[in-house]
Every structure is written in structure tokens, then in C-alpha cells.
Amino acid sequence: MLAAAITSTHCPYCALQCGMNLRPSKDGGVDVVERPDFPVNRGALCGKGRTAPAVLSSSVRLTGPLIRNHATGGLEPATWEEALRAVADGLRRVRDAHGPDGVGVFGGGGLTNEKAYTLGKFARLVLGTSQIDYNGRFCMSSAAAAHTRAFGLDRGLPFPLEDIPRTGCVILVGSNLAETMPPALRYLTELRENGGRLIVVDPRRTRTAEQADLHLAPRPGTDLALALGLLHLVVAEGRVDEEFVAERTTGWADARAAAMSHWPTLVERVTGVPVPQLREAMGMFCDAESGMVLTARGPEQQSKGTDTVGAWINLCLATGRAGRPLSGYGCLTGQGNGQGGREHGQKADQLPGYRKLDDPEARAHVASVWGVGPDTLPGPGRSAYELLDALGRDVKALLLMGSNPVVSAPRAAHVEERLRSLDFLAVADVVLSETAAIADVVLPVTQWAEETGTTTNLEGRVLLRRRAITPPTGVRTDLEVLHGLAGLLGWEKGFPTDPEEVFEELRRASAGGPADYAGISYRRVAEEDGVFWPCPDAEHPGTPRLFLDRFATPDGRARFVPVTHRASAEETDAEYPVVLTTGRVVAQYQSGAQTRRVAELNAAAPGPFVELHPRLAERVGVADGEPVAVVSRRGRAVAPARVTTSIRPDTVFMPFHWPGEGRANTLTNPALDPTSKMPEFKVCAVRLERPGG
């Protein structure tokens, strides 16, 4: 059953994609052992990575397909032939009745590059639908949009992580690395050991913020104003890098004018960050020889997320901290394959190679690789939340892989109701997630250590996850599922089940595109322990550092975009006087579908909580550990209070990993950023109550 030797591979969870070795264990599974030679994490792992094998052998693992018996209402065991036939019939029935766009496909940022590529191809060729998007839209799409707008290309980090300790100053905005990717914290520790400065922007004094030289704690939703205030001071105090701005950028005059209307006193009123702290931050950043701004979900998951990231990029450009060694703007992507997942065609507006679906040349290239005419390909579809919101109305059937929107989508009760209103729902997953539990057909699929495939980490480094263990009888790979469905739906060719064969096709499809994988092969990835894209041919060394000579815009210059502060979609008022912000805890991952099945992780983080300041707790009349109800315009969630001075008195925090009564996303606001279509997970107005009181 087991491979005899140690297998080098990568963690199934977050975008750091820590290297790990898997060793056969006495009980027939695998144990995780350190892999110190992989440069990103040098052997370090968080608890999620260390315990990842527990999900492989979990007693609640799905090991056979399930079909709903509509007479009894229950899910019942079925053969693979019955289950695939039921899915194909369900999708075909809806397509025949409502047209191709009556069928939707929803993917995930944890799917390998090969799966993301095949899922996009399946949707557009076999189903002929434009209605495909994925949960990565909820992750880093605002940063991706801002990156592309300013630099002409989006790669989360345009430099390797190893550059961080050697820069002069890092502004880390809305990222709690200590909880979300603990092994990456060492890059910040080493930065400070080397004499570099760290500024953390977060409404909570997180374990990451505690490491900082300076912690700025703005009101949630005001990061845009904060960045503009810093840029105002940069101009007012003569710290603009005029030479860089003149030689390597365009649009400065308008961006400058926009920033100059954001006086520091105004910014203090909006953000709550005192002017002296603004001055200190600006001085720290400008005094350093080099600098970086790194953002994560805090500024990105807002209805103005693209402009918020754009304001931080403007700060980098005005100070000459972009397109130079040891300087730049970067996004700390969250999901395991959040980077690769957005590059290869499961996004509503993208084709493989990060090509745009509405670009005639891109369509022609990909269509030729797929052996069809460009007119065969549908146009762009709805974004993730728009797609979920359309379920049961315009979109009557959904095939869902690698996502659990019942827990992870904004306004989750509404999304759950939409999913339940579908004519047909098929879910492929490893466990009976909350979304799988309401499906008509559930397809049990293999997990990370049971299959081979590539991911692309937050640095743009393409990595190889290797099969280390034989999957249980009764499960199939996602590629086998799509192959089977394609055949049943009349598409006999073009859906291989061998991941390397898929990757070879992906190379051709991506060739010449922004995310060019043409020179990357399984052999190279294995030998070199990762290759950075773009890598246009087999002799090319890969590109760890982007933009050093020119930006990826037509004229080679980075583009300033004038942005101004605006309020969040939902402001506090007398009825809802407190701001809710959401996030993660170290022992759980995303919707918790996997990590809630691991005893050690559950012991560390058994359930949701509401973090609030003692002054707010006193006003509400709740003590630490007592249940508190959080009510927004969309619903109500109840969880124990966690009273702490580490959060602003006007803000509460809830982690979003759990379903049921404590589901944080019952409360969140699906107001969308107009450019990226990112929902506003990070800001909504709530009131607190004593349950029953």
C-alpha cells in the first residue's frame, strides 16, 4: 500500500506551500518529517502541516459516492458508474432546459494547477458555460486587480521571500502571519535582527503586531485613507523619489493631487491613527534604503479593496520602492494554490496563462491548443458571489470542487438557501463538508498525498506535490472525475487523467501569456525544487524577481492610479454601532472542512469566539467566556466572548472556520469591489446582545 521511501512534497494547506517529507508510518499511513532543504520554510511547519496526514486516515473520510434519495431525503451509497451518470444526467438536463449558462461550476484555490486548468476547460468546452468562478475570488482578487492595474502583471510577490529580511523596512498591512503562516514569521524576525524596521497595520494587536517596531491600529475599512495620509506626508516633507517617478512611472500628477486632499488631521479622524504615528511610520519607511509593502486580506477584502491596495502601491511608487532590488509591493496570497488557481482558467474572466478571456488573441491561442475554434469559447461569466447569488434563479445546476461556500461565502445563510434552491448540485470533496451535505450527488476524491500535481506558491514558485500513498479504494482523483463526466457528456478526447500529461498541455496553453509556464516541466520542478514563472523556454532560469528593468505595461512604466478615500459599504449607526471584522486562527484553515476533522487542531481551536475590548464587554454586560450574540443586517451568530485589550473598543473580531450558530459569515456583507468583485468580508456593522438577555 505504501511507497517504501521518503517522499518529498508540500503541505496541502496555505500559500506558503511548506516543504515536508512523508515517511511510511507503522499504521499503514504516512508521518510528516522535516524537510530542512526546502528554502521557503527550512523544515519549519505549523500544526496544520504537521497533522495533515490525519485527514488521510480520518474515520469521516468519504470512501464512496453518495446519491440523494429524494423519497427519503437522505444521501445513500452508490457506485461510481451510478454517481457519474447521475451528475452527467443532472448537468445535461439543466443545460438542455436552460441553456449552457444554466449550469455553473465553482472551483477552489486549493486545487492543483492541473485541476484548475482542467476544470476551466471542462466548463467552457464540455458544458459550454461562461458561469465558472472559484473561491480564490474571496482571497486575493483585489490585490491581483491592483497589481495588474499598476504593474501590468499580477504575481503575488514579485520577489522571493528570502528578500524580505534584507530590505530596510516592511509595512505589513492586514496580515497576521503569526497565525496564518507561522513559518513565514521568521522572515520578519530576521528583518529586525538585520536592523530592518517593521510596521504592522492591523485593528488588532495580533501576535504579528507584537513583533513590530510600530503598530498602527486603524478602524477596519480605513486602510485606504491611511495609505493616502502617508503619501500626503511623503509629498509634504519632500520625500518623493522624483527621479524614479519621472523615469519609471506615469500618472503621478493625478495621484499626487488625490493624496494631497487627505490631510493628516483628516486621516487621523477617519482612521483613528494619531498624526504623530503617521509621521513616525512615514519617516521609518522613507529613511530606510529600501522598503516593501505587503498586504493580505485586511485591506483586500473590502468593497474598495482594489483602490486600497492601489493606494499602498502608489506609496511604493512615489518613494521609489518598486522595480528595484529588495523593494516592492507584494500580496501574501492565502490559499494553497491561490496563485496558480487564478492563472489557469477557473476564474470567470481568465484563460490559462493568465490570459484575458475577452482578448481575441488569447482566445485564439487557447482554442488552438484545445483543438476548437475561438468562437466555441464562451465569454466572461459572473464573479464568485454573483454566481452563488444567481443559483436557483438563472443558474439551475452547479458542479462544485474544492470549496465549502456554506461556511466560507459572505452572507452565508443566503448562499446556503441559494444552494438548496438548485435543481441539481454535485460536490466533489474528501469529507462530507457542509456544502456536500446538501448536494444531490457527492463524489469522494483523493487528497494531496494520494496524487501528484503542481501548485504555485505565493512567490510564483511552481512546486511539485508528489503521491506518497495509495488512496483508499472507492475514491477517484478530480481529473478522473472530469474525464469520466466529459466522456458521458460526449467529449471523448482531451481530458487526460495523468497530471503530467495535463501539465504538458497547460505549458502549451500558457506559452506567451503573462503567466508563462512553457519552460517549466515536472523534471525541472523536481530537480530545481521549484521554478518561478514566467519561464518561457526550457533554457530560461525562471524569474524570481520581476520588474527590475521594466514593468509589464506596454510602455514599461508603472501606473499611478489616483484613488480617494470612501466609506465602507455599511457604516455603523445607532442600531448597529460596532464594526465586525473576520479572520483566521492558527489551528484551523479556511472553512475548516479538513482541519475540524483533526483532533489535535480541534483541541487547540475547538470553536468560534467573539473577540472584544473590555469596555465594549462591560457595555454589553458579558464576561469573558460567556456567550454573546453578534447581529448584523444579514443574521445573527452566537459564540463565547473573548475579552481582550488587544482589539479596538469599537471593533469585534470573529474567526470564520465554523458552521452553525457561530458561523461568522452569517453576518458578513457581500457588497462587492467594483473592479475585483471581492466581497467586503472585513467590515460590516453589527450590534452585540446577551443571548436571551
- C-alpha to C-alpha distance for 70 and 187, rounded to whole angstroms: 54
Tell me the HSE value of 227 on the side-chain side, using a 13 A CA sphere. Answer: 37
Element (H, E) at 139: none
H-only helix segments in 212-354: 223-236, 242-248, 252-260, 264-271, 275-287, 297-300, 305-318, 338-341
- Cβ-contact 202, 651 below 8 angstroms: no
- Cβ-contact 217, 203 below 8 angstroms: yes
- From the CB of 60, what's the least distance to ligand SF4, in Å? 20
- Cβ-contact 228, 262 below 8 angstroms: yes
Joined together, the cell numbers standing for residue 605 give 481551536
Residue at 277: amino acid letter: Q
Nearer to ligand SF4, 18 or 630 (CB): 18
Orientation of helix 275-287 relative to helix 223-236, angle to 10°:
70
User: 583 forms bridges with which residues in the sheet?
Assistant: 655
- From the CB of 18, what's the least distance to ligand SF4, in Å? 3
Nearer to ligand SF4, 182 or 220 (CB): 182
- Alpha-carbon 360 to chain mean position: 28
Residue at 591: amino acid letter: S
Nearer to ligand SF4, 18 or 140 (CB): 18
- From the CB of 183, what's the least distance to ligand SF4, in Å? 5
3-state secondary structure 537-575: CCCCCCCCCCCCCCCCCCCCCEECCCCCCCCCCCCCCCC
User: 355 forms bridges with which residues in the sheet?
Assistant: 351
- From the CB of 412, what's the least distance to ligand SF4, in Å? 23
- C-alpha to C-alpha distance for 262 and 280, rounded to whole angstroms: 17
- From the CB of 684, what's the least distance to ligand SF4, in Å? 27
- Torsion angle, alpha carbons of 489, 495, 498, 503, to 10: -150
Nearer to ligand SF4, 17 or 327 (CB): 17
Nearer to ligand SF4, 477 or 595 (CB): 595
Joined together, the cell numbers standing for residue 243 give 527621479
- From the CB of 50, what's the least distance to ligand SF4, in Å? 7
Neighbours of 671 (CB within 10 A): 19
Inter-CA distances, 121 with 441, 486, 509, 516, 547, Å: 22, 10, 11, 18, 31
Handedness of CA 211, 217, 221, 225 (dihedral sign): negative
Nearer to ligand SF4, 46 or 284 (CB): 46
Per CB under 6 A, residues contacting ligand SF4 are 11, 13-14, 16-18, 41, 45-46, 48-49, 181-183
- From the CB of 181, what's the least distance to ligand SF4, in Å? 4
Residue nearest to ligand SF4 (CB): 49
Nearer to ligand SF4, 16 or 75 (CB): 16
- From the CB of 19, what's the least distance to ligand SF4, in Å? 9
- C-alpha to C-alpha distance for 398 and 387, rounded to whole angstroms: 10
Nearer to ligand SF4, 383 or 452 (CB): 452
Orientation of helix 499-510 relative to helix 360-370, angle to 10°:
150
3-state helix, strand, coil in the chain (%, to 5): 35, 20, 45
Classify residue 158 by its DSSP letter: S
590 Rama sector, left if φ>0, alpha if ψ -120 to 50, beta otherwise = left
- From the CB of 17, what's the least distance to ligand SF4, in Å? 5
- From the CB of 594, what's the least distance to ligand SF4, in Å? 11
- C-alpha to C-alpha distance for 232 and 267, rounded to whole angstroms: 10
- C-alpha to C-alpha distance for 141 and 285, rounded to whole angstroms: 26
What are the two backbone dihedrals, phi and then psi, of residue 597, each rounded to the nearest 5 degrees? -95, 5
Nearer to ligand SF4, 399 or 458 (CB): 458
Q: Is 641 helix (H, G, I), strand (E, B) or coil?
A: strand
Nearer to ligand SF4, 182 or 310 (CB): 182
Nearer to ligand SF4, 183 or 444 (CB): 183
Nearer to ligand SF4, 41 or 118 (CB): 41
Q: Is 595 helix (H, G, I), strand (E, B) or coil?
A: helix
- From the CB of 235, what's the least distance to ligand SF4, in Å? 38
- From the CB of 182, what's the least distance to ligand SF4, in Å? 6
Nearer to ligand SF4, 40 or 406 (CB): 40
Nearer to ligand SF4, 21 or 675 (CB): 21
Strand-pair category, 610-612 with 132-134: unpaired
Nearer to ligand SF4, 16 or 427 (CB): 16
- C-alpha to C-alpha distance for 65 and 81, rounded to whole angstroms: 9
- From the CB of 293, what's the least distance to ligand SF4, in Å? 22
Residues 6+ apart with CB under 8 A from 44: 18, 182, 183, 186
Joined together, the cell numbers standing for residue 452 give 501528484
Nearer to ligand SF4, 182 or 305 (CB): 182
From the list 486, 494, 437, 367, the residue with the least C-alpha distance to 92 is: 486
- From the CB of 617, what's the least distance to ligand SF4, in Å? 32
- From the CB of 8, what's the least distance to ligand SF4, in Å? 14
- From the CB of 329, what's the least distance to ligand SF4, in Å? 22
Classify residue 391 by its DSSP letter: B
